[in-house]
Structure 1
C-alpha cells in the first residue's frame, strides 16, 4: 500500500509569488518581442528586477524559516535561480514555480479554508500584490502616455517609476506630473488606490496591535468571572451549612419547648 503524500496548501504569499512569477514571465516576453521603445523596454526590465527582489526576499525568508533547510533547497532551488535579475534565460524558470503552485491548487477547498483561516495574511498579501501591480502598470501606462508629448517631463523609465512611487504614496513633490488628460486620469486612479492601500495597511497594523490586548482583556475577564463564580459558590455552600445548622438548632429548641410544655401540665 502506497503512502499518500500530504501536500500543504499554498499560503497567501505563495499565491502572490505565483502571480508575480506570471507577471514577470509576461514582462520578459514583452521585453524580448514587444514593439516598445528603448525607454519602455528599460522600464520593463527595471520592473522585472523589482519583482526579482521580491521573489528573492520570499525565497530567503522561506529558507531561514524552514526547519529542514536542505529539504527546502532541494525543493526550491529553481526559485532562487529563476529570481536572479539581469539574466533573461533564467527568468523563464519561474514557470516552474507557477506550475508547482498550480499543482497544489488542486486541493481548492483546503486552500480556501486555509486562506480564510489566515485572513490577515491573505489581506496583507493581496495589498502587496495590488501595490506592485499598480506601481508597475501605472509606470508603464504613464510613460507610454506622456513620453514624446511637447512639454512632458516624464520621458525615461526612471521618471516613470519615481512618478509612480510619489503618486501612490500621495507625497506629491510636483517634480514630475502628467500634462495629458489620459495621464491625469491614470494619476487619479493611482492616488485613490494608494490612499485605499495605505489605509488598509494601517487598519491591519492597528488590528494586530489591539488584538493581543483584546484577547488578554478577554482572558482576564473570564478569569475574573471564574473567580467570582467560585466565591459565590463558596458563599452559597457556607450559607447552606449555616441554614442546616440553624434548622438543627430550631429542631432542638422545639423539642425542648415540647418537653417543657409537657412537664408543666397538671398531673405530670
Structure 2
C-alpha cells in the first residue's frame, strides 16, 4: 500500500530506462513524489513512462505520445482531471484511463465512469492493485469485438441485422430460422440432438415435435445448401441428430 510515509522515502531522483517492451503509460499527477512512485511502479513492469505535472501538459503528451493507457489524477492545475478524462475519450475512445485519486466518494466514481474512465483507484493504493487494474483495462480494450457476421461457403449471415446472403444474393430467413442457425454456428462440429434443439431453440415452454426440427432444417438446407438433397454443411447424424460443419 502506497502511503504518505512511502512518499517521504522517495527522496532520491532516478532515471527510468528509456527502453520498455510493453508500450507507454502516461501518468498525469501534480505531486512530484507520487510521480516518482508511479514512474517506478510501471517501469518495473516493463512499460515506458511519460509524466505530466498539469492538465495542459498531459493533454499535449496524450496527443504526441499516443499512450497505451493513462493514469490520471483528478485535482490538477490548468485543466482538471474530469475535463481531461472526457477530452481523452473524445480524442481516442479506445485508450484506457484509470483514475487515481484521494477522492473516494461514490458520486465522484460514478461521474468519472460516466465521463469515460475505465477504472478508479483510490489513494492510498496498492501498487499491485494499480498495475493489475491498468493491465486489465488494456486487455479489455485489446479484446476483439465478436463479429455478428458469420460466413461459410458462399453464405454470409449477419445475426445482428438479421440479414442473409448467398452468392451475394439476399436470402429471406424467418426469425426462427435465424435463431436455429445461430445455435448451429455457436456449436459448430458438435452433434446436436433433436431434443437439445427443441429445448434450446424452441424453449421449454413450447411443445413442438421432433418433426418440427426436421422441417426447419430442411428449409434451411433449401435456402443455404448448394445441393439441399446432398447437404455439405447441415448434416444429419443418423441415430443422433444434426451437426453443422462450416
Question: What is the TM-score with the length of structure 1 in the denominator?
Answer: 0.20
Query: More strand per residue: 1 or 2?
Result: 2
Tell me the TM-score normalised to structure 2 length.
0.21
Structure (1 or 2) with the larger CA radius of gyration: 1
Higher-RCO chain (CA-CA 8 Å, sequence separation at least 6): 1
Q: Which structure: greater helix fraction?
A: 1
